[in-house]
Structure 1
């Protein structure tokens, strides 16, 4: 009987509550209702120690970047605690990604603050032109004690954004970009996935130089505050120079893989003006490598002093810095890019639009480039990649033949300095040996002997040519000397004849 009375009491209470709610909705003005709602909500929230921040997927008609950042941040955290997970691979991501399912929660501690994340999906009804439809509104809830409100705002949320940015950077699919000759669809860069296998572990260059480059790169990427403090743009310029086949392109790929940067391969012959070059620069992203290969072949950037000296000798060159591109578009006049445009591209005001970028130029002839381009601040580090040395040879033998030691290695070490073989030459010999170490070593020694004979023959011919030139010069000097003596003799003879004629005239006058 008591139980029945209790249930009757509960029923009466609920009925009274529904009556009051209906009366409020029907008779209370909306303004007063909203005011009372905010008032009681404020009272109840002041009694509760918890603060909740809601992060929705959409901010109006636009995607909420903070929602995506939280999603990326929790993807690395929720695997160990959430009971139900979603597995996906977003577009342009190279790794799989875990995410929380709806109505799941995750807790963590940050600097002594207990943080709780919850993920919900709420159905939202919208109407348009008389038609109504339901939309899924996904959101995260961030809950914590109210006394940590300032710490969460100033420390935790920036921490979430920073970690999320790093996760996105690691998971993204890196790209290789190239510039277009014509702006198709308004885009001046086109891209493909970048998957070059070259790394510093496989790179066949001097180990000391390799380590120096790695240290320089690591120092560069962690000195953002230093560059800001000294008032310099966060960029660095590398000049790679040396004969063809010495590994300049492989080094660029290894640098990009080491830093996990995108590559922008700029084709200067497709650039029509300085302004287009600036557009290309500001269209590049941060954390990227901007490459101009064989710059001496794309533009005439030779030393102005040497050029002016030749102009004075030949009397047929004009002064100025204008450098003409050696390509011509379909049916159009030859376009020009000035040396000034290239210098501003590397170190002008526009070069500071962005950060954490490497600018790499390559050339086979460093001496052809203007000194203004080579100075520090533009090309900060000059890297000489020359002919193959023994340490680079050992790396090639390890990569291609799978050997660290061989009985013929000492002979190679003696002969290698006497030949001018590039890493590309040796790699091609090893590739044709089908991983047969003995065959590879014998083949490369035979090639070295052949190259040495060729170099010796060229040296003899050069010496012979030099002797011939020396003799010819000596003969020319002798001929000039003889001609000079003959000329002086003729002049003396003419002078003597004049003197004799004068004496005869004087004697004749005296006789008269």
Structure 2
């Protein structure tokens, strides 16, 4: 018998009790194994587990890397989304980068946890790896744990939020491709007229740095924004979600910079077709080209529109719009025509800000230059070159004045 409550347990007594309990458990286990069927034993153990294990209010969703034989879009989105949710308390990270990527890719490793919140609700993510087949192939999945009462929110709005955020991250990190006719690089064969080479567009031009009239820039940005928002509209009316822009004007007026700014703004691949490098398709030329088996300009343009793919911006550039067949200029081929004019005073202010770090209104020489720019045909490319001639701002601006005055004299001599 156990001692009364007035007497403390002695150490020998404790050892005796422990030995008795251990012996009983061993005997009980042996009897279960010898006399009870395995199915009944399993059932009994599950029942005991349910009785003595506190009931959890949490639900765990398994997001496997594969969905059937295909990649699981939700897994891929979670992998991208969780990179932005890594806590400073995380003890292990996986870091990688390819030669063509600008940024490091950071992800969590096996066993790490990430906590997230959405609309005042808490979720926990675990990354799990396992080798479960004879080929030692690694199976990967995420475990998303949350309170059971949040099931509808998580399976609806939260996972939709994860997918949308992942798409936005991918868009911002995406390497934009510039396709041009017969350019070197990886080819694109989705349209007639030979292959299109592509390069990764690594051009710093943005609408903020573009030396262009602000009202013209706003018109282009508004058109691009409207195009972006109308994907479902294009689908509903049965049109491909593509838009064509014609940039025309003298050389050096910023057509290439505008193309880069559009690509960087949209994060879309850009198809740039320099019309002067392709045969026009007036009736006489078209008949002659077709007899030689050459694809006409309209054939290339229509091929670009009809080729496979989703969103696409196609930019056509030319120095001489008036030489193009009117049939090429119609909406559906070239939807928006943008005249790239000579530099204006407002464009010059952008150049001065970009190259000299000045607000044009804050320097006494800038007002004089702006008046000269508005009265002379000078391109942004020419002014940009002059702004790079010296490190001394006064020297540079005086050089710009001399250059524009010389251009004005030359222009007057030509006209007279």
When normalised by structure 2's length, the TM-score is: 0.78
- The answer as to 2:104 corresponding to 1:96 is yes
Q: Distance between the aligned counterparts of 2:398 and 2:186, measured in 1?
A: 53
- Say whether the 8 Å CA contact 1:106–1:118 is kept in structure 2: yes
Counterpart of 1:415? 372
CA 1:228 to 1:14, structure 2 compared with 1: closer, same or farther past 3 Å?
A: same
Task: Describe the SS at the equivalent of 1:324.
Answer: helix
Q: CA deviation at 1:33?
A: 12
Alignment of 1:132-281 (within 5 A): 134-146=136-148, 148-178=150-180, 191-259=198-266, 261=267
Distance 1:186 1:454 in 2: 45
SS at match of 1:360: strand
Equivalent residue of 2:107, what SS? strand
**Corresponding residue of 2:332:** 377
Alignment coverage as a number of residue pairs: 387
8 Å Cα contact 1:70/1:164 also seen in 2 = yes
Are 1:400 and 1:435, in contact at CA under 8 Å, matched by a contact in 2?
Answer: no
The 8 Å contact of residues 61 and 144 in structure 2, kept in 1 or not, is answered as yes
Q: Could you say which residue in structure 1 is the equivalent of 2:289?
A: 324
1:7 partner SS: helix
Mapped partners of 1:213, 1:181: distance in 2:
27
Deviation of the 1:420 alpha carbon: 2.0
Do the aligned partners of 1:85 and 1:98 also contact (CA within 8 Å) in 2? Answer: no
SS at match of 2:132: strand
Inter-CA distance 20–158: structure 2 relative to 1 (3 Å threshold): farther
CA distance in 2, matches of 1:299, 1:181: 17
Contact 2:185–2:199 (Cα < 8 Å) also in 1: no
Would you say the 8 A contact 2:248–2:339 is kept in 1? yes
The answer to whether the Cα contact below 8 Å between 2:242 and 2:311 also exists between their aligned partners in 1 is yes
Q: Is the 8 A contact 2:178 2:272 kept in 1?
A: no
Kindly name which structure, 1 or 2, has the bigger radius of gyration based on alpha carbons.
1
Paired residue secondary structure (1:10)? helix
CA distance in 2, matches of 1:113, 1:243: 58
Deviation of residue 144 (structure 1)? 3.7
Q: Determine if contact 1:79/1:98 at 8 Å carries over to the other structure.
A: no
Q: CA separation in 1, counterparts of 2:301 and 2:179?
A: 22
Structure 2 CA distance, aligned partners of 1:107 and 1:184? 41
Are the equivalent residues in 2 in contact too, given 1:289–1:359 (CA < 8 A)?
Answer: yes
- Contact 1:84–1:101 (Cα < 8 Å) also in 2: no
Give unmatched runs, 5+ long, in structure 1: 128-133, 262-286, 305-316, 326-332, 461-512
1:336 to 275, 291, 294: 294
In the alignment, is the contact (CA less than 8 A) between 2:245 and 2:314 conserved in 1?
yes
The residue that corresponds to 2:273 in the other structure is: 292
Name 1:426's counterpart in structure 2: 383
Partner of 1:441: 397
* Structure 1 moving runs of 4+ over 6 Å: 181-187
Return the alpha-carbon distance in structure 1 between the equivalents of residues 186 and 376 of structure 2: 49
CA distance in 2, matches of 1:216, 1:50: 48
Q: CA RMSD, aligned part only?
A: 3.7
Deviation per CA, 1:304-328: give whole Å up to 9, x if none.
5xxxxxxxxxxxx58xx44739xxx
What SS does the aligned partner of 1:376 have?
Answer: coil
Question: How many angstroms apart in 1 are the aligned matches of 2:186 and 2:172?
Answer: 30
SS at match of 1:94: coil
- 1:84: Cα distance to partner? 2.4
Q: 1:9, 1:458 → 2: CA distance?
A: 115
- Tell me, yes or no, if the aligned pair for 2:211 and 2:348 is still in contact at 8 Å: yes
How many angstroms does 1:339 deviate by?
Answer: 4.5
Structure 2 gaps of 5+ residues are 1-15, 190-194
Q: CA deviation at 1:62?
A: 6.1
Is 1:72 matched up with 2:91?
Answer: no
Change in CA separation of 1:99 and 1:70 when aligned onto 2, cut-off 3 Å: same
Q: Contact 1:51–1:143 at 8 Å: present in 2 too?
A: yes
What is the TM-score of this pair, normalised by structure 1?
0.65
Q: Is the 8 A contact 1:89 1:95 kept in 2?
A: no
- Aligned equivalent of 2:349, options 383, 394, 410: 394
Identify if the C-alpha distance between structure 1 residues 209 and 184 changes in structure 2 by more than 3 Å, giving closer, same or farther. Answer: closer
Once residues 177 and 260 of structure 2 are traced to their aligned partners in structure 1, the CA distance between those partners, rounded to angstroms, is 12
Q: For 1:197-230, what per-residue CA distance to the aligned partner results, in whole angstroms no more than 9, with x for missing partners? A: 2222221111221222223223322333343344
Q: 1:142 to 1:406 in 2, by over 3 A?
A: closer
Alpha-carbon distance between aligned partners in 1 of 2:208 and 2:187, rounded to the nearest angstrom: 40
The answer for the alignment partner of 1:450 in structure 2 is: 406
CA distance in structure 1 between the aligned counterparts of 2:176 and 2:185, rounded to whole angstroms: 23
Is residue 296–residue 368 contact of structure 1 (8 Å, CA) maintained in 2? no
Give, in angstroms, the shift of residue 385 of structure 1: 0.9
Mark the CA change 1:10 to 1:201 in structure 2 (over 3 Å): closer, same or farther: same
Task: Looking at secondary structure, tell me which structure has more helix per residue.
Answer: 1
